[in-house]
Structure 1
Amino acid sequence: MDPLADAPALREALDGFVVHLRDERGLSAHSVRAYAGDAADLLAHASRRGARTPADLDLRLLRSWLAGLQARGLARTTLARRASAARALTAWCARRGLADADAGALLASPKPHRTLPGVLRQEQAGAVLDAAGERAQRAAGAHDPAAAALALRDRAVLELLYATGVRVGELCGLDLGDVDDARRLVRVVGKGDKERAVPLGVPALAALDAWRARGRPVLEGPRSGAALLLGRRGGRLDQRAAREVVHRAVRSVPGAPDLAPHGLRHSAATHLLEGGADLRTVQELLGHATLTTTQVYTHVTAERLRSTYARAHPRA
């Protein structure tokens, strides 16, 4: 049963909000689903409290919704995300004239605990990539073209993720034409369809060359299109398959933490800062909308400094 069946104006507002997120803000399908789910839950709560139009949403109602979620034991990060969705919804309603005021403008939410992202040490990252290169060499001598092609692809995936710090969705979305070999750049389409150019290191470009020359033609098929990276059946590489490539590769290195593709992104950013890159440059490379998001990596490097000090200094 539709919880908004008795409040068609709220249902209409929800549908309009989803269109706004998808078509005007250009959010990813995942983000749209998350915001839409949170907004639907809020409006269902409002409907149960007697609200019938967006104008009925007020700060007290929003707070009661968050209090109920908190009583159910939701994590602070989840509460913060839901409060953000509520603020986005009420702001949109106010802009559209569906409400006289933005009820969520004063809505506070618990600040999420910011956990430091897991990263590889530089020598661990090197070991992961070296092992991938060795697997590609072994596969090439095994006289199994498909296995050799997949090994070349896996090496390219790992090198690209670490060299560029791109998100796994950005990686899987790359096309052949996005690589500028002459300038060693790759064109990346990030969140909100924003484009950026990211440099490629020599090892990453070498892995990419090997994949394009000797791996991709083996897997290429009718479903390949212009996709740069392919799955074993010839279609565009799936994000789940890319994640498995990373997990499998990192697990092969003794002592390395089990990381997903985002862990390689964190590692790349951390190692750039440790190597002397400035925060603004790292922000541009990662495609962060604000510098605040990038600043978490300064916490990572500071944590490493303390850890190294504690191990190495005789009077730590």
Structure 2
Amino acid sequence: MAGAKRDSVRGSGNSRPPKPDSALLARFADHLTYRRGRSAHTVRAYLSDVGSLFAFLDVDPDDPAVRLDDVLTRRALRAWLADVSRRSARTTVARRVSSIRTFTAWLADAELTAADAGSSLVAPAAHRTLPGVLRAGEASDALAAAALGAEQHDPLALRDHLIVELLYATGIRVGELCGLDVDDVDRDRRVIRVLGKGDRERVVPFGLPADRALGTWLDVGRPALWVPRSGSALLLGTRGGRLDQRQARTVVHRVLEAVPGAPDLGPHGLRHSAATHLLEGGADLRVVQELLGHASLATTQLYTHVSVDRLRAVHDRAHPRA
């Protein structure tokens, strides 16, 4: 209860979340954006998770009668976690716990609470599963299908061809792809400058097929779609604005539909496929980590796997008793 210690934990998960203009959540959003360098998408996810906590507790965080130390107790957070765990997948629970831990740590650092109640909150271990992946032949067929569609130099077909070429050639994230500007591309060196998670910048190379698709798009496709509001965006939507991530996902799904037997993957599937094929071609894991923009090598190990055939080949070549 506001202003006094709670003897019980209220909440059913069905209460209304804080108002969109919540002053407390706005301050937290500024912290995530300007101090932690989180993307707009990530900030929205954090705010949604924190909002679900206050909705469960049936508390308005901006109510002047509310004392956050009395509301955000370890007991209350564990009750919320138990409720979320019953209704959500482990990966979702892990993400929400991470959001709440970040939130309670910020409250304590900002001296809005006396202690960090979320520091001991632990989510159940998530099942770490590998994303889907294309075989090398399926990737080649998908790129060939996209190139065939672009032969008539239709602007959208040229754009779609470039989307799949760049995603597979570089392994960049779909958000990074859509955020590219024309000046981020260095065709002389065949590299792109990418702004990744946490505003970390990296340079990623691409090959000749992607360069050819890029050249045709810049010479023919982009000028046909360009409007004043296009600005410097490299990839454009049907109305000339910067390409939306949803449009890019639709393009990838549509291209892969043309490949018999290929799994139904989105842009992340092309990213994982690119990393896997690099490893199978002999690339060092740390090189792949740098290309993908992972802060931790452990993340790269999740996104990539080595085929049994490659393991057998390396074992046969390297082990004295093979």
Q: TM-score, normalised by structure 1?
A: 0.85
Q: Counterpart in 2 of 1:149?
A: 155
State the one-letter code of the partner of 1:305: V
1:111 aligns with 2:125: yes
Equivalent residue for 1:197, pick from 169, 179, 203: 203
Q: What RMSD in Å do the two structures reach over aligned CA positions? A: 2.4
What is the deviation of 1:49? Answer: 12
Equivalent residue for 1:251, pick from 257, 273, 278: 257
Is this contact kept in 2: 1:93–1:99, CA < 8 A? yes
Equivalent residue for 1:16, pick from 1, 18, 27: 27
Of stretches 47-56 and 273-282 in structure 1, the one that deviates more from structure 2 is: 47-56
Q: Counterpart in 1 of 2:77?
A: 62
1:278 aligns with 2:284: yes
Aligned residues: 292
Is this contact kept in 2: 1:4–1:47, CA < 8 A? no
Q: Counterpart in 1 of 2:245?
A: 239
1:262-301 alignment, distance < 5 Å: 262-298=268-304, 300-301=305-306
Of stretches 20-29 and 40-49 in structure 1, the one that deviates more from structure 2 is: 40-49
SS at match of 2:230: coil
1:30-45 alignment, distance < 5 Å: 30-45=41-56
Is this contact kept in 1: 2:280–2:310, CA < 8 A? no
Structure 1 residue runs of 5 or longer lacking an equivalent are 6-10, 141-147, 310-316
Q: Counterpart in 1 of 2:220?
A: 214
Q: Counterpart in 2 of 1:127?
A: 141
Q: Percent identity?
A: 58
Distance 1:64 1:48 in 2: 15
Alpha-carbon deviations, 1:167-213, whole Å to 9, x = none?
11111111111111111110111122221111111111111011111
What is the deviation of 1:30? Answer: 1.7
Q: Counterpart in 2 of 1:93?
A: 107
Distance 2:108 2:249 in 1: 41
Q: TM-score, normalised by structure 2?
A: 0.84
State the one-letter code of the partner of 2:50: A
Is this contact kept in 1: 2:225–2:238, CA < 8 A? yes
SS at match of 2:143: helix
Distance 2:28 2:60 in 1: 21
Structure 2 residue runs of 5 or longer lacking an equivalent are 1-14, 313-322
1:158 aligns with 2:173: no
Alpha-carbon deviations, 1:13-33, whole Å to 9, x = none?
433222211222121222111
State the one-letter code of the partner of 2:98: S
Of stretches 167-176 and 21-30 in structure 1, the one that deviates more from structure 2 is: 21-30
Distance 1:132 1:226 in 2: 24
Q: Relative to structure 1, is the Cα distance of residues 4 and 214 closer, same or farther in structure 2, using a 3 angstrom cutoff?
A: closer
What is the deviation of 1:290? Answer: 1.7
What is the deviation of 1:308? Answer: 10
Distance 2:18 2:258 in 1: 51
